[in-house]
A and B are shown apart, each in its own frame.
Chain A
Amino acid sequence: DQQVKQNSPSLSVQEGRISILNCDYTNSMFDYFLWYKKYPAEGPTFLISISSIKDKNEDGRFTVFLNKSAKHLSLHIVPSQPGDSAVYFCAASSNDYKLSFGAGTTVTVRA
């Protein structure tokens, strides 16, 4: 049972524009959410996170928004750069040791 869902497998955006990645979850016990970035043949690297007590967290060009009532979060990348082309995974955890990941969204930034 997929508790974290990324329904858009791919996203293409022009350099300089905003990239918006979406993620939905079903487990109401999740209280911590993360985004990871992954290049081919490499391990994912942590990008940004948000606790359920917040609805927004910003780090440079990256902002994560959380809508708890809708069980939805999104990642905004502004402005998008060629180096942002990668697979982005949404992940969630409750107060335990495990992270549940979505299937990922492949972002392609066009010059």
Chain B
Amino acid sequence: SQTIHQWPATLVQPVGSPLSLECTVEGTSNPNLYWYRQAAGRGLQLLFYSVGIGQISSEVPQNLSASRPQDRQFILSSKKLLLSDSGFYLCAWSVGQGTNVLTFGAGSRLTVL
């Protein structure tokens, strides 16, 4: 069966510090991978998605970046965090195109102070 792992679960970082959130998927090949963010009181905002190794599509301009160094690994990064980067970050995966049923990880709570 497929599983998705996301870490760390909770992170408190000072403004200006770097960020690295990691996500891995097991039990499937060539998944579509996604990073979403849920800000306080808001819905799920798509940040990045990837349909293959090294292929990253950015949905929202910001100081975050994403990388996919391996087929089932997706990393969300920042060189310098802003206060507005605080939120709940969710990694997800799917297969195919069109009828997207995304499976989400447990999420990472980021607080920038």
Contacts and interface: CB of A to CB of B under 8 A. Distances in A.
> Binding site of A, secondary structure by majority: helix, strand, loop or mixed?
loop
B105 to A, nearest CB: 5
A44 B44 contact: yes
Most B CB contacts (10 A, CB to CB) among A6, A101, A102 go to A101
24 contacts: A31-B98, A41-B88, A41-B106, A41-B107, A42-B107, A43-B90, A43-B104, A43-B106, A49-B101, A91-B44, A94-B98, A95-B97, A95-B98, A96-B97, A96-B98, A97-B51, A97-B100, A98-B100, A99-B100, A99-B102, A100-B46, A101-B36, A101-B46, A104-B44
A35 to B, nearest CB: 11
B57 to A, nearest CB: 8
Interface in A33-67: 34, 36, 41-46, 49, 51
Contacts of A4: 43
B65 to A, nearest CB: 18
Prevailing SS type, chain B contact patch: strand
Contacts of B42: 103
Given A43-B90, A97-B94, A103-B43, A32 B104 contact: no
Q: Which of under 10, 10 to 19, 20 to 34, or 35 or more describes the interface residues of A? A: 20 to 34
A89 B107 contact: no
B74 interface: no
Ranked nearest first, the 6 interchain pairs of A and B with the lowest CB-CB distance are A43-B104, A103-B43, A101-B44, A95-B98, A93-B100, A101-B43
Contacts of B51: 97
